[in-house]
Amino acid sequence: MKKTDKIIYWVITLSFVLLFVFANDIILSIPLKETYRLKEVESTKYDEYKRDFEAKIETFYVKQDIFFTTEFSGYAFIPTNQASPNKDINLVFISENKSYEVDASVIEWFFLKSMFREKGLVGINHFFITRFSPIEMENGIYELFIYCYENENTIGFMDTNRYFEKTYRTFKEVKK
């Protein structure tokens, strides 16, 4: 075997090994349409904002694709005097060992307009939807929290009392 052939052989072999070891990170870093990526966070990150506010998970759906794409939608709001143009909603999954956070798109949802009016809310941007792959989460049972930012003085972090179990091949709601 020529020396250059040997070098090429080992470079390719090593590339495969590296690709294999970091495959999850590489694949999940590919930006997918309308899909967010989970970030590992400290479980106490939002503790100072803990309070009750109006929030509901309306749909939870796991697609059986290669990413096990998971979708959550619902609404969350804390009454304010003015509309919240910079509103931010995140979902936070907390287990005994690990915590992850995922962004959600805040959407104007006209179907909830009457409810928002009843509650005396300003604006209609209180609906959220997020899609992400749970693959990089450590296996375990997670409690779901919602972080809601209306403005710098109105921020909340609330427990939904809903639990989700992550295994290598499933992500499903469980009772605790």
Q: Counting contacts by CB under 8 A, is residue 135 touching other proteins?
A: yes
Among 11, 19, 141, 174, binds other proteins (CB under 8 A): 19
Count of positions (residues) in the chain: 176
CA dihedral 102, 129, 127, 158 (to 10 degrees): -30
Choose the binding region for other proteins from 12-20, 38-46, 121-129, 144-152 (rule: CB under 8 A).
12-20
User: Coil, strand, or helix at residue 96?
Assistant: coil
156 and 53 in contact (C-beta within 8 Å)? Answer: yes
Sign of torsion, CA 40 43 48 49? positive
Question: Rounded to 5 degrees, what angle do the CA atoms 39, 44, 48 make?
Answer: 120
| Residues between 100 and 129 with contacts to other proteins, criterion CB under 8 A | none
Least separation in angstroms between CB 95 and other proteins? 18
Q: Counting contacts by CB under 8 A, is residue 12 touching other proteins?
A: yes
Choose the binding region for other proteins from 110-118, 122-130, 154-162, 166-174 (rule: CB under 8 A).
166-174
Binding site for other proteins (CB under 8 A): 1, 5, 9, 12-13, 16, 19-20, 23-24, 27, 59, 61-66, 135, 167-169
